[in-house]
Structure 1
Amino acid sequence: MGFLRAGQRAVRAAAIFSTKHTSCLSTKAPHPGTKNILLMGPPGAGKTTVGRIVARRLGLPAVDVDDDVLEPTWRMPVAAKLAAVGGERFLEEEGDALRNFSASGCVVSLTGSNPLHAAAMQHLTESGLVVYLDVDSEDIIQRLTRMKVNRIVGQEAGASMRDILLYRKQFYERWVDVRVLCGTGDTVEEVAEKVLQAVDRYQNQAGESYVSTRSDGEGSANQKSFFSDVVIEGLASDGGLYVPEKGFPVLSAREWLRLVDLSYPERALLILEKCIHPLEVSASALREMTFTAYGSNFSCEAVAPVKHLMKNQFVQELFHGPTASFKDLALQLMPRLFAHCLPQMCNYLILVATSGDTGSAVLSGFSGLSGVDRQRTGVLVFFPEEGVSEIQKLQMTSFREGNARAVSVRSDFDFCQRAIKRMFGEAGLTGHLAVEYGTVLSTANSINWARLLPQVVYHASAYLDLCRDGVVQFGEPFDVCIPSGNFGNAMSAVYAKQMGVPIRKVICASNHNRIITDFFASGEYDLRGRRLTPSESPAIDILKSSNVERFVHHASRGDGRLVRELFSRLDAQQHFQVPERLLRRMQQEVQAGWCSEDDCLAAIRSVHTHTGYVMDTHTAVAKVVADRLQDGSCPVVICSTAHYGKFAPAVFRALQIQNVPEDPVEQLRTLASTARRPEIHRDMMRRLQESVRGHTVCTAEYGVLVEEVEAMIHDCFLRVL
């Protein structure tokens, strides 16, 4: 079967890249419709050998720039030319030679230094697809040592080979169309196969479509949705949630090991490249977005560090972003992806329902856009007036001007979420907004695929940190324990496992509202007569968990008809029961438990007493459930989803601190003097110091929320300046 698939890829790629082979090299421009495959990478990456294998598999001519272009042009060996003219002059003459080079329908192996000459590379890229052989630097150095190469072009005296390879990486990533991530120890045959797969993927964009969780697979092929579509639409037209039709790509162990010593932005880039088709978001654009999203806006250089807590328990701190919650890990990137995917003709208003942390994170993310992107997007957040902490409220309501605003509602999160879903589902309303105001509605809740996808990265990164620190060897399992409300965080862990991260169990932790716990225990999702009870962990005060639908779709192996039936019943009757066989499959991947308010506060006090570490109330819920459900046979990473300062009054009660200051800023300072770790959160403190009290409060009426939407559209897009 593997040989058959490889053969099919070769036939398809050859059909795309082929041309008459009588004269591959020419002084004429390539024929329309013919493309080269340009292999790029550092010296020692294996470009020449891999190029010959790929060319043979595709039945195309192979061109080696050193042997077939430079040496015939100069009439001397490349090494002799370098010795004669020196590094800088060599790069110029190499670039000049390439600017006169033309080929069509060939597999071209570039030199390691070609990408350093911008004009030459601009010329080359017009002729074909640039495939970057991303080989580990240590592998490169070992190969060059065996080849007795101790200096390469551009390496000045005193500069190490490792430094020059690192310097060159920026140029490879500037010109790349498709990256081939080479695992340590990959053979040239394996790399050649990856090149064929990469070329095939690039040309087969239709293979990376998305479907609704409620799709029965009988729709027209012409109605396929792609990444840009699902980012903009948010919710599928049938009320379902979008998922990749063919699931997630799987990284091999050797590919994962390449990521162990990388920074968080580098890990994120390589994982996201596997999940987002390069014709949707180019490699260079994705790199710029990713490094901007996870840069100086995070108060910790590690972005999402994993720290030892006690015994075999570790905590992943997901709160170092600008709003001090895990939502920043998605919402510093998602607005950039959203703006990139926007059609040119419309304005977009992002509607968000939040139980606390999502609100400030989405406001921060979208307010960070600039230029035209900022002018064409607005964000309106609805949150329950009595359902968030005072600090969360101040964070959200501090956004008062520009394209981002928060409004509270005298109800709970579920009402806010239902109202937004109703707006999306009313064709009369969405049509009116489009025709009257040229504005389209979208969402940044975790129902939006671009919100969920970046969260996959930090679960993978947690495991890579454990590997880097010697806690586990790659392949050894670990568990994750996640405070779960809307189930998006847990669902992203399930997807990380699909990609090859060896997660044994995803453990979901609930407070006394415990809807997730009951569902995984019985297979019954029952909202009949169930009331939401506010807690000290408000981000998980949710009864209707949107991403449970994605999990049921996953566990049922894509049975869209069953998903549609179950969730339509939930909408109509507030209840459904999954079949017993499906329940057993669900329980194989996910465990769930809950804890009381007293147990939550007691856990904060106990951990602080024994370690000096202060947890927020959501992390404490996860700690209690991990203690009860995790068997200790492998490490468990507890997702710390928010900084303790966001829930200061509850933490004061847990630590039994008297004489609590009334001012939120003073509360944070007092707590910081008590906690040995983690440190005070700089951006949250700054935002609170700048905040002004007072905000709009709405009654719990659908029509009133619609009026707020229209008012926001007027303020964002129709105001005369």
Structure 2
Amino acid sequence: MVTFYQSTRDKSNKKAASQAILQGLAEDGGLFVPVEFPKVDLDFKKLKNASYQEVAELVLKAFFDDFSADEIKLMVTKAYGEKFDSPEIAPLKNLGNHYILELFHGETIAFKDMALSILPHLMTQAAKKNGVTNEIIILTATSGDTGKAAMAGFADVPQTKIIVFYPKGGVSHIQEQQMLTQKGANVHVVGIDGNFDQAQTAVKEMFNNKSLHDQLLKNHQQFSSANSMNIGRLIPQVAYYIYAYAQLVKTGQITDGEKINFSVPTGNFGNILAAYYAKKLGLPVGQLICASNKNNVLTDFFKTGLYDKNREFYVTSSPSMDILVSSNLERLIFELTDESDDETLTLLTALSAEGHYQISKKMMSKLQDFIADWASEEEISKEINETFENENYVLDPHTAVANYVYHQIQPKEKTVVVSTASPYKFPKVVLEGLQKSGTDLSEKIDDFAAVKSLEKLSGIPLPKAVLGLEKAEILHHTVVPVQEMQKEVEKYLGLK
């Protein structure tokens, strides 16, 4: 059985997996979701001894079954190898009464590597499979981590160009330095005078702009996306939830069939949605804990059913979560409406036009899998401090959010906190927490001095991603207003 994908805004718009991956976003502005979820044999008597690569193959073969088993095996082998500094790819650590799933062992030290290591292989193979000769233009907005991971994956990949927009002043200095020093003849990085939501909205508008689409086709080019709106980015993330469960079974921490929770730092809703998809495959999951920072629009949504982006936007110490429009929530909304494309479109149109929507009581009743809370800046810093003092473990600010929320909820089942970035990605914030909760180093020390102090204090070896970054040549200098993003794309691509 071939798994087809349909748009959340027009169910008649169906694509095979390779076509959905190539396109990224549906023509109608919707997101692609499986028409039917595949059946996967989650036999943990076998899976407990499986490598990460074998689990990834299992997941990808089920969801992307218009690729051959040999094609998937080759892509997985290329994606999950020497680029990761741990043979386990996603190691699981015991931390007091719960566990930490470390997803930052790839070359850009953030969880985005888990999917963006394989997406370029999926996309180029999909282009061959569908006879596409156009140049694939990867157009994406980033709140800090997707951009670098996507550029690292697509740099100098034939038949592709990648354009990344990020909020200038809205990411950490390390994140920005990683992006601005990215090599690759096909890479273009652009800062915007605005926030991530504005960047993401403008990117979506370009995807849906028919005139721009026609210009691209005349230039033998077509858009695709590298962020989690692309089903090719989302599905590979399902694998690490299954792998984490298998490792807990293997080490005897849980029995096969025992439910566990996942606490996930959440911004654009892709990472926690992947956990929900794992549960839909049959993974024994109790609750999915949606952990937010001060931009707590999702916390309010899960508690009240009201999604309201009409609120103050905060730049926080966990910038990858500084998001008020969580794009992947649309996939869940589609499911809550019993897959009504009309109802989904109505709700998302209201969000765009009025800035809010309210779901029905019937839809609310289907959210029992989720529980949500948030952490303030002071609570994040305190969590970093206390975790280091009590467990001798260093959290980055995003993981600290999920760890704090886990402690607030105190679920009965065993819980895995999903760690989305290395502490070296946000050294100043982490150092402030470690030295003394609430200490402000912003005017006293830069990120690279903080890196050295953090290494000395924590004893954690510096990852390759940070070594040499301070003195790396800045290759990208462009900054534009939000309203000139499309003009910048047209200029870079040589469109008339």
Q: Identify the match of residue 635 of structure 1 among 414, 419, 435.
A: 414
Q: Secondary structure at the match of 1:618?
A: helix
Partner of 1:487: 269
Deviation of 1:403 after TM superposition, in Å, equals 1.4
The 8 Å contact of residues 320 and 681 in structure 1, kept in 2 or not, is answered as no
Partner of 2:430: 651
- CA distance in structure 2 between the aligned counterparts of 1:334 and 1:681, rounded to whole angstroms: 27
Q: Identify the match of residue 349 of structure 2 among 550, 553, 568.
A: 568
Q: Identify the match of residue 244 of structure 1 among 14, 24, 34.
A: 34
Q: Secondary structure at the match of 1:225?
A: strand
- CA distance in structure 2 between the aligned counterparts of 1:469 and 1:557, rounded to whole angstroms: 39
After superposition, the C-alpha distances for 1:599-622 in whole angstroms (9 at most, x for unaligned) are 000000000001111100000000
Q: Does 1:590 align with 2:376?
A: no
Q: Identify the match of residue 434 of structure 1 among 217, 220, 227.
A: 217
Q: Does 1:469 align with 2:284?
A: no
The 8 Å contact of residues 189 and 478 in structure 2, kept in 1 or not, is answered as no
The 8 Å contact of residues 335 and 366 in structure 1, kept in 2 or not, is answered as yes
- Taking structure 1 as the reference length, what is the TM-score of the superposition? 0.66
Q: Secondary structure at the match of 2:366?
A: helix
- CA distance in structure 2 between the aligned counterparts of 1:694 and 1:333, rounded to whole angstroms: 25
- CA distance in structure 2 between the aligned counterparts of 1:577 and 1:689, rounded to whole angstroms: 47
Deviation of 1:662 after TM superposition, in Å, equals 4.3
Q: Does 1:347 align with 2:347?
A: no
- CA distance in structure 1 between the aligned counterparts of 2:106 and 2:468, rounded to whole angstroms: 13
After superposition, the C-alpha distances for 1:187-233 in whole angstroms (9 at most, x for unaligned) are xxxxxxxxxxxxxx3xxx3xx21111123x4x3xxx53111111011
Deviation of 1:663 after TM superposition, in Å, equals 5.4
- CA distance in structure 2 between the aligned counterparts of 1:664 and 1:536, rounded to whole angstroms: 13
Q: Which has the higher helix share?
A: 1
Q: Does 1:413 align with 2:210?
A: no
- CA distance in structure 2 between the aligned counterparts of 1:379 and 1:605, rounded to whole angstroms: 38
Q: Identify the match of residue 52 of structure 2 among 251, 264, 276.
A: 264
Unaligned segments of structure 1, at least 5 residues: 1-200
The 8 Å contact of residues 485 and 545 in structure 1, kept in 2 or not, is answered as yes
Unaligned segments of structure 2, at least 5 residues: none
Partner of 2:162: 379
AA aligned opposite 1:465: Q
The 8 Å contact of residues 248 and 498 in structure 1, kept in 2 or not, is answered as no
Distance 1:268 1:681, change over 3 A: farther
Q: Identify the match of residue 392 of structure 1 among 175, 181, 195.
A: 175
Partner of 1:518: 300
Deviation of 1:699 after TM superposition, in Å, equals 3.0
The 8 Å contact of residues 250 and 498 in structure 1, kept in 2 or not, is answered as no
Partner of 1:508: 290
Partner of 1:152: none
- CA distance in structure 2 between the aligned counterparts of 1:535 and 1:231, rounded to whole angstroms: 32
The 8 Å contact of residues 190 and 480 in structure 2, kept in 1 or not, is answered as no
Deviation of 1:552 after TM superposition, in Å, equals 1.4
Deviation of 1:301 after TM superposition, in Å, equals 0.9
Distance 1:296 1:504, change over 3 A: same
The structure that has the greater radius of gyration is 1
AA aligned opposite 1:210: Y
AA aligned opposite 1:306: L
Partner of 2:185: 402
The 8 Å contact of residues 179 and 189 in structure 2, kept in 1 or not, is answered as yes
The 8 Å contact of residues 428 and 451 in structure 2, kept in 1 or not, is answered as no
AA aligned opposite 1:481: S
- Taking structure 2 as the reference length, what is the TM-score of the superposition? 0.95
Q: Secondary structure at the match of 2:179?
A: helix
Deviation of 1:691 after TM superposition, in Å, equals 2.0
Q: Does 1:671 align with 2:454?
A: yes
After superposition, the C-alpha distances for 1:328-366 in whole angstroms (9 at most, x for unaligned) are 000000111011111332111101100101111101111
Partner of 1:227: 17
After superposition, the C-alpha distances for 1:358-409 in whole angstroms (9 at most, x for unaligned) are 1111011112x6xxxx231011100000110000000011114411221111
After superposition, the C-alpha distances for 1:272-328 in whole angstroms (9 at most, x for unaligned) are 112211xx21111111110111101001111101100112x1000000000000000
Q: Secondary structure at the match of 1:585?
A: coil
- CA distance in structure 2 between the aligned counterparts of 1:386 and 1:565, rounded to whole angstroms: 34
Q: Secondary structure at the match of 1:539?
A: helix
Distance 1:403 1:544, change over 3 A: same
- Give the paired residue count: 489
- CA distance in structure 2 between the aligned counterparts of 1:296 and 1:694, rounded to whole angstroms: 26
Partner of 1:539: 320
Partner of 2:8: 213
Q: Secondary structure at the match of 1:210?
A: strand
Partner of 1:286: 72
The 8 Å contact of residues 264 and 302 in structure 1, kept in 2 or not, is answered as yes
Q: Identify the match of residue 477 of structure 2 among 696, 699, 705.
A: 696
Q: Secondary structure at the match of 1:699?
A: strand
- CA distance in structure 2 between the aligned counterparts of 1:430 and 1:224, rounded to whole angstroms: 20
Q: Identify the match of residue 300 of structure 1 among 61, 76, 86.
A: 86
Q: What is the root-mean-square deviation of aligned Cα atoms in Å?
A: 1.9
- CA distance in structure 2 between the aligned counterparts of 1:637 and 1:592, rounded to whole angstroms: 15
- CA distance in structure 2 between the aligned counterparts of 1:328 and 1:244, rounded to whole angstroms: 23
- CA distance in structure 1 between the aligned counterparts of 2:139 and 2:44, rounded to whole angstroms: 36
- CA distance in structure 2 between the aligned counterparts of 1:349 and 1:696, rounded to whole angstroms: 20
The 8 Å contact of residues 293 and 375 in structure 2, kept in 1 or not, is answered as yes
- CA distance in structure 2 between the aligned counterparts of 1:477 and 1:250, rounded to whole angstroms: 18
- Give 4+ residue runs of structure 1 displaced > 6 Å after superposition: 657-661
Aligned-pair identity (%): 35
- CA distance in structure 1 between the aligned counterparts of 2:144 and 2:184, rounded to whole angstroms: 20
Distance 1:642 1:345, change over 3 A: same
AA aligned opposite 1:358: T
- CA distance in structure 2 between the aligned counterparts of 1:653 and 1:454, rounded to whole angstroms: 34
Q: Secondary structure at the match of 1:709?
A: helix
Q: Secondary structure at the match of 1:489?
A: helix
AA aligned opposite 2:224: S
Deviation of 1:687 after TM superposition, in Å, equals 5.5
- CA distance in structure 1 between the aligned counterparts of 2:413 and 2:192, rounded to whole angstroms: 44
